[in-house]
């Protein structure tokens, strides 16, 4: 399935124009100032991005807004890194949904990076696809994802293999989540500008996060076994427990060092604890930002039962 030629939409993508993006950023700023009112058509609560369907009335694009920064050059470098990452994923055999990086003026003296993509119907996204099928270790969508992960994840290139990051369009699987470019240099050091990914956290914690917490977290995206373990563990969160054992069977057929059900469950439990801590720290950061009269630049989901 994954050997099919790229679907024609690769050439056909027309991104939103500057005016549309300016209006979008204005409505994002309005939403952030009033988080309880529904101003935007949200697609998801990202860890670092806000994913929005644009325009709300008749969506054509999925736009992912990163946190604002004052240095355009830094955003341009981050955007270039995403472009390089997408190109390298393509060379490694991963079909990435057409993605364009836009730098848009935000608050006075600040700019944001917004990624745009064609919008995909929700029934073409990974979670809906598996929810609509009988669990089966030979499922072609599942196996196309695992083939792609095993063929592409390497010390140089990583990818977030979780189910929610894949779409099935024109019989091809497409990776949709490229806002964090996972590449490492020849010494195995992540090339990611981690200053963006720590923005949701209180400023006093960011240096420690960048130094000790983020780099080891990035490792999982480069090792096929860890990416597959992450995929399988995440099925519990997606309420796809019935897919866990078939997915393990499919994963283990590719691994010399197989994953057991108890390892997948323990991994998920630990991950859920970590994300719960992260969620609480973000809530504290939002509280502190509001206390000093600022506007927290992220939307936090309602508490979830992980
Ligand atoms: N092109 C698209 N069309 C339709 N829905 C999309 C599209 N891109 C993303 N989404 C939806 O939005 C969700 C979040 O997008 P994405 O995976 O790119 O970022 P994220 O994982 O939330 O961000 P972060 O990297 O900050 O964690 C996806 O899981 C999917 O449900
Ligand atoms: Mg994602």
**Model confidence pLDDT, tens digit, residues 258-287:** 999 999 999 999 999 999 999 999 999 999
CA–centroid distance, 125 to ligand 1, in Å, is 10
241 — pLDDT class (breaks 50, 70, 90): very high
Task: Look at residue 4 and tell me whether its pLDDT is greater than 70.
Answer: no
Higher pLDDT, 4 or 168: 168
Percent of the chain with pLDDT over 90: 90
Q: Give pLDDT, residue 306.
A: 52
Ligand 1: list residues with CB < 6 Å.
43-44, 46-49, 51, 62, 64, 97, 117, 119-120, 125, 164-165, 176-177, 179-180
Helix (H, G, I), strand (E, B) or coil at 287: helix
Residue at token pair 């054509």: 60
Q: Which ligand is nearest to the CA of 125?
A: 1
Give, using CA atoms, the residue closest to atom 13 of ligand 1: 44
Q: What is the pTM of this model?
A: 0.94
User: Which pLDDT does position 2 carry in this prediction?
Assistant: 41
Is the pLDDT at 37 greater than 80? The verdict is yes
Output the six-digit token pair for 215. 């780099």
Amino acid 1: pLDDT: 40
Average of per-residue pLDDT across 172-180: 97
Q: DSSP label at 174?
A: E
The closest-lying atom of ligand 1 relative to the alpha carbon of residue 119 is: 3
Would you state the pLDDT for residue 111?
98
Kindly state the percentage of the chain with pLDDT values over 70: 95
* Ligand 1 atom with minimal separation from the 165 CA: 17
Pocket test for ligand 1, best of 7, 48, 176 (most atoms within 8 A of CB): 176
162 has pLDDT over 50: yes
**Residue of 42, 45, 62 to test ligand 1 pocket, by largest number of atoms within 8 Å of CB:** 62
- Tokens representing 25 are 């950023």
For residue 176, the CA-to-ligand 1 centroid distance in Å is 7
- Note the Cα 205 to chain centre separation in Å: 22
Residue 11 confidence class, pLDDT cut points 50, 70, 90: low
List the residue whose alpha carbon is closest to atom 14 of ligand 1.
44
Using DSSP's 3-state secondary structure scheme, residue 52 falls into strand
Ligand 2 center–CA 41 separation, angstroms: 17
d(CA 17, CA 102): 10
Q: Distance between CA 279 and CA 254 in Å, rounded? A: 34
Could you tell me the distance, in angstroms and rounded to a whole number, from the CA of residue 38 to the centre of ligand 2?
22
Ligand 1 centroid to 46 CA: how many Å?
7
**pLDDT beyond 60 at 9:** no
**C-alpha dist (Å) from residue 104 to 18, 75, 101, 113, 205:** 8, 10, 10, 6, 27
SS3 of residue 12 by DSSP:
helix
Q: What is the CA radius of gyration of the chain?
A: 19
Using DSSP's 3-state secondary structure scheme, residue 192 falls into: coil
Give per-residue pLDDT as tens, 202-232. 999 999 999 999 999 998 899 999 999 999 9
Mean pLDDT across the chain, nearest whole number? 94
53: phi then psi, degrees, rounded to nearest 5: -90, 130
Atom of ligand 1 nearest to the CA of 64: 18
Burial 109-135 (b: 16+ CB within 10 A, else e): eebbbbbbbbbbeeeebbbbbbeeeeb
For ligand 1, atom 21, name the residue with the nearest CA.
46
Distance from the alpha carbon of residue 164 to the mean position of ligand 2, in angstroms: 6
291 vs 35 pLDDT, higher one = 291
Question: What value does the mean pLDDT take over residues 163-192?
Answer: 96
Ligand 2 (ion): residues with CB under 5 Å are: 165, 177
Question: Ligand 1: which of 45, 159, 177 to mutate, most ligand atoms within 8 Å of CB?
Answer: 177
Inform me whether the pLDDT recorded for 5 exceeds 60.
Answer: no
Separation CA 117–CA 123 (nearest Å)? 17
């Amino acid at each position: 399935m994954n050997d099919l030629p790229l679907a024609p939409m690769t050439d056909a993508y027309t991104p939103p124009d500057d005016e549309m993006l300016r209006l979008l950023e204005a409505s994002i700023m309005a939403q952030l100032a009033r988080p309880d009112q529904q101003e935007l058509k949200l697609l998801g609560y990202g860890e670092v991005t806000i994913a929005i369907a644009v325009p709300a009335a008749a969506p054509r694009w999925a736009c992912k807004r990163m946190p604002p920064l004052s240095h355009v050059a830094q955003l341009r470098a981050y955007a270039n890194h995403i472009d390089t990452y997408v190109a390298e994923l393509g060379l490694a055999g991963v079909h990435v949904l057409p993605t364009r990086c836009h730098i848009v003026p935000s608050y006075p003296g600040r700019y944001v990076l917004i990624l745009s993509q064609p919008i995909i119907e929700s029934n073409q996204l990974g979670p809906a696809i598996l929810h609509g099928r009988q669990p089966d270790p030979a499922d072609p969508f599942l196996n196309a994802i695992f083939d792609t992960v095993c063929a592409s994840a390497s010390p140089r290139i990583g990818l977030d293999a979780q189910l929610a990051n894949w779409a099935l369009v024109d019989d091809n699987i497409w990776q949709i989540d490229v806002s964090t470019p996972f590449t490492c240099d020849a010494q195995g050091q992540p090339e990611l500008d981690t200053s963006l990914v720590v923005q949701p956290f209180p400023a006093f914690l960011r240096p420690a996060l960048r130094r000790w917490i983020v780099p080891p977290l990035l490792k999982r995206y480069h090792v096929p076994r860890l990416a597959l373990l992450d995929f399988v563990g995440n099925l519990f969160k997606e309420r796809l427990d019935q897919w866990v054992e078939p997915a393990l069977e499919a994963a283990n057929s590719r691994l010399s060092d197989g994953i057991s059900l108890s390892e997948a469950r323990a991994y998920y439990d630990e991950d859920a604890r970590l994300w719960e801590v992260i969620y609480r720290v973000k809530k504290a950061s939002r509280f502190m930002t509001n206390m000093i009269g600022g506007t927290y630049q992220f939307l936090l989901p309602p508490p979830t039962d992980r």
